[in-house]
């Protein structure tokens, strides 16, 4: 599934929190935000794609989830925060190359060809990962360790990148072939950009097979590389992107332009991003995996960059007079199902540390607002969503706003910007209000009330935006005439 991810270390963020966020770019997937209680977590999990049965541990933790409303093809939980204040987003589909896949093929489901044979189960994949990992970990590091062990045991049928975070640190894991993986800790002062391409550009085997402070990997990784002649580096340094990744023409249209735009936004003066003497262009294969930003990064920055479509460049698909408009795949696209920013606030009491900023539908036109993750149930506005269009919930209201605004972009963009600003400001205001109430009183039962208030605020602003955008789009209908019919 094509997605875009950004990871923000605690010294790079505006308030000292860690933030991991991802666009879940399915195919117009209908999504909701729910809480999964331990009693509702399966003890035997069976995947739809891999047809794989996995025995799960007892005593799972409660966790949030953004599953697909249509469960026909599996849960696809996408992201969440558990009651130990560990967050996970899964997954960012990444790339590989024929040498890797020849050495360690994907583990794909194979149906038996006769009654005498048995079906061959496939491995684990994006459909499964949040459900089989997040309820069983109490730190980001444990997330890497558990998922790594599952990959080595069951294998995978696809290439994926997965992020884990807690209040202290962020880890990023990338799968390699069917059973191998590497992981790297995000430096506290850095942010990471991931656009559907194998990303990690430096690895330290001494640490991975020693103290594991910053790096982890499969137990046989060095032998795997040497045996299969995978290392293409000439300088003696280990650049996993050159070993396991891709450098295709498709990457230059679909993937690297997104990394270019994200780096350009957060580090406009550090490098040259435009012109003949640019350090990096939209088609550069060597755009760094991580950067130290020029200023601290806010939730609004994360939302903006994951909603972006090359504004201020010739590649903006809404630009009317540019021959290059739309030639690169945007970050914010119409078929996004959900985007969530998992913010882990280490400076708050345990009950208030996990904040999930949620938005649904096309990111260019939707709005994001926060909810407290440490709760038994989410409000109906974001949790009770059906496959039928219904403006009583945030998902379908967001989809309607986007479809109408895209049709009349020039007339509607001002209302979109006002809507996004109002929802974000309202979210911060209510967070400040309820943070103060709960820390002063110690009454964390107010979390349910706070989440209801946040949803009510977002719903009011969404309806107001829809009213304005519907009117503007109606004025732009093809059968309109300037002469009044009154």
**Rounded Cα gap, residues 409 and 415, in angstroms:** 10
Nearest one of 331, 271, 334 to 306, comparing CA atoms: 331
Tens digits of residue pLDDT in 411-424: 999 999 999 999 99
Same domain, 84 and 122: yes
Q: How confident is the model at residue 69 (pLDDT cuts 50, 70, 90)?
A: very high
Do 353 and 407 have their domain in common? no
Share of the chain above pLDDT 70, in %: 99
Q: What is the mean pLDDT of residues 209-234?
A: 97
Query: Does residue 422 share a domain with residue 348?
Result: no
Residue (of 37, 99, 89, 28) closest to 63 by Cα position: 37
User: Tokens at residue 422, please?
Assistant: 């109002």
Mean pLDDT in residue range 458-485: 89
Same domain membership, residue 462 and residue 394: yes
Peptide bond into 311 cis (omega under 30): no
**Residue 376 forms part of a structural domain:** no
Beta-carbon contacts of 174 under 8 Å, excluding residues fewer than 6 positions away, are: 94, 159, 160, 161, 162, 181, 182, 183, 198, 199, 200, 240, 244
Total domain count, the chain: 2
**Where does a domain end: 330, 364, 398?**
364
User: Does some domain include residue 380?
Assistant: no
pLDDT the model gives residue 444: 98
Q: Is position 267 within any domain?
A: yes
Residues 23-68 pLDDT 10s: 999 999 999 999 999 999 999 999 999 999 999 999 999 999 999 9
Do residues 339 and 299 touch, judged by C-beta distance below 8 A?
Answer: no
> What residues contact 63, with CB distance under 8 A and at least 6 apart?
35, 36, 80, 81, 82, 83, 130, 134, 135
319 & 407 share domain = no
338 in the same domain as 462: no
- Regarding whether 197 and 238 lie in a shared domain, the answer is yes
Residue 384 lies in a domain: no
| Residue 341 φ then ψ, to 5° | -105, 115
- The answer as to whether 83 is a domain residue is yes
Q: What average pLDDT does the segment 217-234 reach?
A: 97
Domain boundary among 348, 364, 380: 364
Q: Taking all residues of the chain, what is their mean pLDDT, rounded to a whole number?
A: 96
Looking at the structure, tell me whether residues 304 and 396 fall in a common domain: no
Which CATH number do you get for residue 307? 3.60.60.10
Say whether pLDDT at 484 is over 80: no
Convert 180-207 to b/e letters by CB count within 10 Å (16 or more is b).
bbbbbbbbbebbbbbbbbbbbbebeeee
Q: For residue 194, what are the domain limits?
A: 4-364
Same domain, 323 and 420: no
Q: What is the predicted pLDDT for the residue at 479?
A: 86
Q: Give 239-258 pLDDT, tens digit per residue.
A: 999 999 998 999 999 999 99
Query: Above 90 in pLDDT, residue 200?
Result: yes
Predicted local confidence at residue 481, as pLDDT: 74
**pLDDT category, 170, cuts 50, 70, 90?**
very high
172 and 277 share a domain? yes
Percent of residues in the chain assigned helix, strand, coil, to nearest 5: 35, 20, 50
pLDDT in tens, 393-408: 999 999 999 999 999 9
Give a yes or no: residue 239 inside a domain: yes
pLDDT above 90: percentage of residues in the chain? 95
State pLDDT tens for residues 266-318: 999 999 999 999 999 999 999 999 999 999 999 999 999 999 999 999 999 99
- State the catalytic residues: 3
Q: State how far the Cα of 297 lies from the Cα of 13, in Å rounded to an integer.
A: 5
Verdict on whether the full-model pTM lies above 0.85 = yes
**Last-in-domain residue among 364, 399, 432:** 364
Indicate if 423 and 295 belong to the same structural domain.
no
Q: Are residues 238 and 165 in the same domain?
A: yes
347 lies in a domain?
yes
Query: In this predicted structure, what is the pLDDT of residue 116?
Result: 87
Whether 485 has a pLDDT exceeding 60, the answer reads: no
- Structural domain contains residue 370: no
């Amino acid at each position: 599934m094509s997605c875009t991810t950004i990871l923000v270390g605690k010294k790079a963020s505006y308030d000292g929190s860690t933030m991991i966020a991802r666009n879940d770019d399915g195919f117009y997937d209908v999504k909701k935000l729910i809480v999964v209680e331990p009693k509702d977590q399966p003890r035997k999990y069976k995947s739809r794609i891999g047809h794989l049965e996995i025995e799960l541990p007892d005593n799972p933790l409660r966790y949030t989830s953004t599953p697909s409303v249509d469960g026909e093809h599996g849960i696809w939980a996408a992201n969440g925060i558990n009651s130990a204040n560990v967050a996970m987003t899964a997954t960012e589909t990444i790339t590989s190359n024929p040498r890797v896949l020849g050495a360690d093929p994907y583990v794909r489901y194979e149906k038996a060809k006769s009654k005498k044979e048995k079906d061959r189960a496939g491995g684990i994949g994006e459909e499964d990962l949040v459900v089989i990992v997040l309820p069983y970990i109490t730190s980001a590091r444990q997330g890497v360790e558990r998922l790594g062990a599952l990959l080595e045991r069951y294998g995978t049928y696809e290439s994926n990148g997965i992020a884990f975070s807690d209040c202290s640190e962020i880890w990023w894991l990338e799968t390699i072939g069917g059973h191998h993986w590497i992981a790297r800790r995000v430096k506290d002062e850095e942010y990471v950009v991931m656009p559907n391409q194998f990303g990690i550009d430096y690895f330290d085997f001494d640490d991975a097979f020693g103290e594991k402070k910053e790096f982890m990997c499969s137990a046989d990784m060095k032998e795997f590389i040497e045996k299969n002649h995978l290392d293409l580096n000439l300088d003696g340094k280990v650049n996993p992107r050159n070993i396991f990744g891709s450098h295709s023409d498709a990457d230059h249209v679909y993937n690297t332009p997104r990394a270019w735009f994200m780096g350009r936004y957060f580090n406009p003066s550090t490098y040259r991003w435009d012109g003949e003497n640019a350090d990096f262009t939209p088609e550069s294969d060597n755009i760094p995996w991580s950067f130290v930003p020029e200023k601290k990064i806010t939730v609004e920055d994360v939302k903006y960059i994951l909603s972006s479509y090359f504004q201020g460049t010739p590649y903006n698909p809404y630009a009317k007079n540019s021959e290059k408009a739309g030639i690169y795949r945007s970050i914010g696209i119409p078929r996004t199902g959900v985007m969530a920013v998992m913010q882990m606030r280490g400076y708050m009491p345990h009950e208030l540390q996990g904040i999930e900023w949620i938005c649904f539908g096309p990111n260019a036109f939707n709005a994001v607002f926060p909810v407290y993750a440490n709760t038994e149930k989410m409000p109906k506005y974001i949790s009770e969503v059906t496959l039928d269009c219904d403006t009583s919930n945030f998902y379908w209201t967001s989809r309607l706003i986007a479809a109408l605004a895209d049709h009349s972009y020039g007339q509607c963009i001002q209302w979109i910007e006002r809507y996004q600003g109002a929802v974000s400001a309202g979210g911060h205001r209510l967070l400040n209000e309820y943070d103060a109430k709960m820390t002063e009183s110690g009454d964390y039962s107010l979390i349910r009330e706070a989440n209801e208030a946040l949803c009510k605020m977002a719903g009011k602003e969404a309806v107001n935006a829809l009213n304005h955008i519907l009117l503007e789009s109606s004025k732009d209908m093809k059968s309109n005439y300037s002469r009044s019919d009154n």
